[in-house]
Amino acid sequence: MPSARCSMLERAPQDDRVTEVRPVAFRGAGFVPKAGRASGWTALALVIALWQLAGSAGWVNPLFLPAPSAIAVALYKLAMSGALWQHVSASVVRIGSGWLLGTVAGVIIGFAIGLSTLARGVGITFISALFPIPKIALLPLLILWLGIGEEPKIATIALGVFFSTAISVYSGVDAVPRNLIRMAQSFNVPFHAIVTRVIWPGALPSILAGFRITASVALLLVVSAEMIGAQFGIGAFVLQAGNLMQTDQLLAGVVILSLFGLAVGKAINVLETRLLHWR
Amino acid sequence: MTDRKRTHMDLIADHISHRFGGLDVLDHVSFTVASGEVVAIVGPSGCGKSTLLSILGGLLRPSEGRAELRGAPPADSLNPLTFVFQDFALLPWCTVEANVEFPLVHTALDAATRRAVVDDALKRTGLTDFRGAYPKQLSGGMRQRVGIARALAVRPAILLMDEPLSALDSQTRELLMEDFIRLLADGAMGAVYVTHNLEEAVRLADRIVVLSRRPGRVREIVDIPMTRAERGAIDARGKLLALQNDLWSLIREEAIDAEREVQHA
């Protein structure tokens, strides 16, 4: 009695012309990209090395594109002179205050829009009308209203942060599965507890994604605002360096901005890992 | 548990009608779920079974008629009408233990009592070893067990179950059906069980309310003439199958019409 396997193998093709046996071709490859950390750093190192080579070999005019080593030296000198901290601290205070103000207001208004019919009707209309305005265009008006001190710069950043935050918060509230809210209601859980224990954690992924965007918005606005009217700050420093054709210092300022952006991104990653570990 | 049996609370659907916009979904549906009784609601797709359950549980205001409670729930009941949801409705950011404790946090129970209640609910549903797990780490069957444990924690008088097994595979369904039979065995807790599955209905229910296609009307109320304990016997299977066939013959034509309606929608 042949085994099942034998009998299947014995089922030889009836047609003598069809004798070739070949494996089924694999068609499932691709569409699952993975971020390789090593390849990313290697590529970055290669670009910097190439840039340095171009600078050292005199292929590019250092006035237009100083070599990375020149930028590092400029950064070092800035740090040693104390000017770096003066500019960085001025920008950090503006970004911190503006971002915090805009975020608090955005979260409150976003939740109101997400939870109240009246607030939704009014709020979405205003946000739709005002969100597209480039907030930096309001800086002259804010200077008229608030004077030439820190307030108009902080207010510009706060306004830019506010709209994006409000939108991400009410989108997040809208995205909380309704079945979870109905579940809580079915257990007579009070309104405030539904907000804090169901809606807030449910909206948190969207809110944190919004933070990532608003951090970039704040950085963009602080540089713009400082370029328009400030003595200290990274934006002011970059503008002054540009005016004096000190491109090594200009790029040192850009490197600081880049590092700042990376640090904020990293901080948000840490927040996401801690707060959204359940995903 | 003995004390719970002494109190009586009936749930009454009193001429409930409901409309979504211009669409009539339910039309004067009336029946009573007596204390400790398990009533299944069956009917063709779209006949308003889940809508009816939402109205009975106070999650939806009916267009006409009303849901009423007669009598008093057990004194220890924290939520007399408690839902078990088809999609489990677990908080993904909470562990099993926190999910079960969720409806208790805002009650007057102190922390030690809450802990004891949660422990008991986890034990009754076989979840003690999974108390620290998150929903994403659990199978569908285990997630529904968490939903059941959460419902048991508030010591309901009547469970409102909206197709609680429909999202599960057949083996898990069978296991959970055994759990339901065990939990409802002592008659301390009643249930309204919405299902498409006639086999589940005849195995679990004392009575079956058959709804017509939309707008859902009570077409027939069928009594199951044997206890749940008797239904486990081999010779009862033939009778249950015959009952199931009778039910199917009641709704078959309308189920076909309902399906065509869905396809054309």
pLDDT at position B251, please?
87
Residue B173 — very low, low, confident or very high, per pLDDT cuts 50/70/90?
A: confident
Which of B81, B85, B106 is opposite residue A183, by nearest beta carbon?
B85
A180 touches chain B (CB under 8 A): yes
If you average pLDDT over residues B216-221, what whole number do you get? 93
Q: Which domain holds residue A185?
A: 59-275
Q: Using DSSP bridges, classify how beta strands B81-84 and B9-20 pair: parallel, antiparallel or unpaired.
A: unpaired
Half-sphere exposure (Cβ direction) of A101: Cα atoms closer than 13 Å: 17
A274 touches chain B (CB under 8 A): no
Rg of chain A (C-alpha set): 28
The number of folded domains in chain A is 1
pLDDT at position A159, please?
95
CB-defined contacts A:B, below 8 A: 48
Which of A179, A193, A278 is opposite residue B85, by nearest beta carbon?
A179
Query: A19 with A13: CB under 8 angstroms?
Result: yes
Residue of B nearest to A203 (CA): B93
**Quick check: helix, strand or coil at residue B219?**
strand
DSSP label at residue B69: E
Please judge whether B106 and A278 are an interchain contact, meaning their C-beta atoms are less than 8 angstroms apart.
no
Which CATH number do you get for residue A181? 1.10.3720.10
Work out the angle between the directed axes of helices A68-81 and A37-56 (0-180°, nearest 10): 90
A179 touches chain B (CB under 8 A): yes
Distance from CA of B52 to the nearest CA of A (A): 15
Which of B82, B83, B106 is opposite residue A190, by nearest beta carbon?
B106
pLDDT exceeds 80 at position B87 = yes
Which of A185, A201, A278 is opposite residue B134, by nearest beta carbon?
A278
pLDDT exceeds 80 at position B185 = yes
- Which of B53, B60, B83, B91 best tests the A interface by mutation, with the highest count of A CBs <10 A? B91
Tabulate helix, strand, coil % of chain B (nearest 5).
40, 25, 35
pLDDT at position B257, please?
80
A191 touches chain B (CB under 8 A): no
Pick out chain A residues at pLDDT < 70. Answer: 1-18
The answer to whether residue A110 is domain-embedded is yes
Which residues from chain A sit within 8 angstroms of residue B83, using beta carbons?
A: 183, 186
Tabulate helix, strand, coil % of chain A (nearest 5).
75, 0, 25
Residue B3 — very low, low, confident or very high, per pLDDT cuts 50/70/90?
A: very low
A217, A220, A222, A228 alpha-carbon torsion, rounded to 10°: -130
Query: A122 with A170: CB under 8 angstroms?
Result: no
Which of B92, B93, B106 is opposite residue A189, by nearest beta carbon?
B106
Residue B79 — very low, low, confident or very high, per pLDDT cuts 50/70/90?
A: very high
pLDDT exceeds 90 at position B170 = no
Q: Using DSSP bridges, classify how beta strands B64-71 and B190-194 pair: parallel, antiparallel or unpaired.
A: unpaired
pLDDT at position A2, please?
47
The answer to whether residue A35 is domain-embedded is no
If you average pLDDT over residues B74-95, what whole number do you get? 93
pLDDT at position B264, please?
60
Total Cβ atoms within 10 A of residue A16: 7
pLDDT exceeds 80 at position B123 = yes
- Which of B106, B109, B161, B192 best tests the A interface by mutation, with the highest count of A CBs <10 A? B106
Which residues from chain B sit within 8 angstroms of residue A189, using beta carbons?
A: 102-103, 106
Residue of A nearest to B78 (CA): A187
